[in-house]
Amino acid sequence: MNNPPLSEQTAQQLIARIAIPPRPQILTEIFSALQSDAPDLRALSRLVASDVALSAAVLKTVNSPFYGLRRKVESIDQAVGVLGLDNIATLVTGFMVRNTLATPKLERFWDSSARIALLSAAIAKQLKNLSPNLAYLFGLFRDCGIPLMAARFPDYLETLRAANAEFQRPFTAVEEERHQTSHAIVGSLLAKNWGLPEPICEAIAHHHELDCFASESLSNMALNLIATALIAEQIDYRAMRLTENYEWEKLGNAALEFLLLSEEEYNALCDDLIALLDPSNADT
């Protein structure tokens, strides 16, 4: 069953209770520039370049195999020129969410989120069902409530293990039993506070619901985001040679049906993107 929308009062109580961080100033400036008829790209390049760690992260991603650039990009000015403001804004948003919510206990979580985001963008590009930028942002923000829950509840990592091991009920049912809220609700609030597009906020709130693809209330865009990220996550599991992915067991077939992907098409997509993620993992 779909979660009912939060009332404003409940949302504000959760924001106060979970300590949801505000949108970083650099994102406010970039998002404002996106609304301008004539954004000052050089000023924004200087803004990004002024943060050494941010610049390094953006350049590392831009030069990854996912972008397939023929020449290495060596400066933020070049990155903006090659990719454009929308893509740079997406990459900066990804860095800022990881930096803002960083915790030493969840480094593997962030590494996985980054891979799923890149895979989601690559899938969207191949299937042409979504903007790759939108798919990338959802891949990063889909589970961003997890570090916030971990910071708020001392026993949350135990909850996380129990939820990951749950093979019948929704992942979020375990969280709600223990903490009276879930990372899906908390994550959707963070996304709204940061001004992310509504389909991303909607998809975050509902991505663990077992009947989401049968829902008449969720937008087609939100369902495309959920389905694309599910495939990206399963490809990541296969590439990393991990054990059972119970979320795929619960929702994978419905996601493939929604995207009208046959088993053969899905397997071909997996092979292509596993090779893209790490050529050494490709099937021979």
Q: What is the pTM of this model?
A: 0.87
Question: What integer pLDDT is reported at residue 216 of this predicted model?
Answer: 92
The torsion angles phi and psi of 172, rounded to 5 degrees, stand at -70, -20
Q: What's the pLDDT tens digit per position in 49-71? A: 888 888 998 898 888 777 778 88
- Burial of 10 from C-beta contacts in 10 A (0-12 / 13-18 / 19+): middle
Question: What integer pLDDT is reported at residue 281 of this predicted model?
Answer: 46
Q: What's the pLDDT tens digit per position in 111-120? A: 889 889 999 9
What DSSP assignment string belongs to 208-276? T-TTGGG-SSS-HHHHHHHHHHHHHHHHHHHHHT-S--HHHHHHHHHHHHHTT--HHHHHHHHHHHHHH
Cβ neighbours of residue 130 closer than 8 Å, sequence gap 6 or more = 124, 221, 224, 225, 228
Inform me whether the pLDDT recorded for 93 exceeds 60. Answer: yes
In this prediction, what percent of the chain has a pLDDT beyond 70? 92
For 70, how many CA atoms within 13 A lie in the half-sphere containing its CB? 0
> Quick one: how far is CA 62 from the chain centroid?
17
Question: What integer pLDDT is reported at residue 18 of this predicted model?
Answer: 76
Give the best-scoring range by mean pLDDT among 23-32, 85-94, 194-203. 194-203
Q: What is the mean pLDDT of the chain?
A: 87
Inform me whether the pLDDT recorded for 277 exceeds 80. Answer: no
Question: What integer pLDDT is reported at residue 279 of this predicted model?
Answer: 47
**Sequence letter at residue 9:** Q
Closest-CA residue to 201 (of 255, 115, 135, 138): 138
Average pLDDT on 22-32 reads 84
Question: What integer pLDDT is reported at residue 199 of this predicted model?
Answer: 96
Closest-CA residue to 225 (of 248, 202, 247): 202
Closest-CA residue to 184 (of 158, 161, 163): 163
Average pLDDT on 14-20 reads 71
Residue 154 — pLDDT band, cuts 50, 70, 90?
very high
Inter-residue contact 189 to 15 (CB < 8 Å): yes
In angstroms, rounded to a whole number, what is the distance separating the alpha carbons of residues 186 and 164?
Answer: 18
Question: What integer pLDDT is reported at residue 165 of this predicted model?
Answer: 93
Residue 282 — pLDDT band, cuts 50, 70, 90?
very low
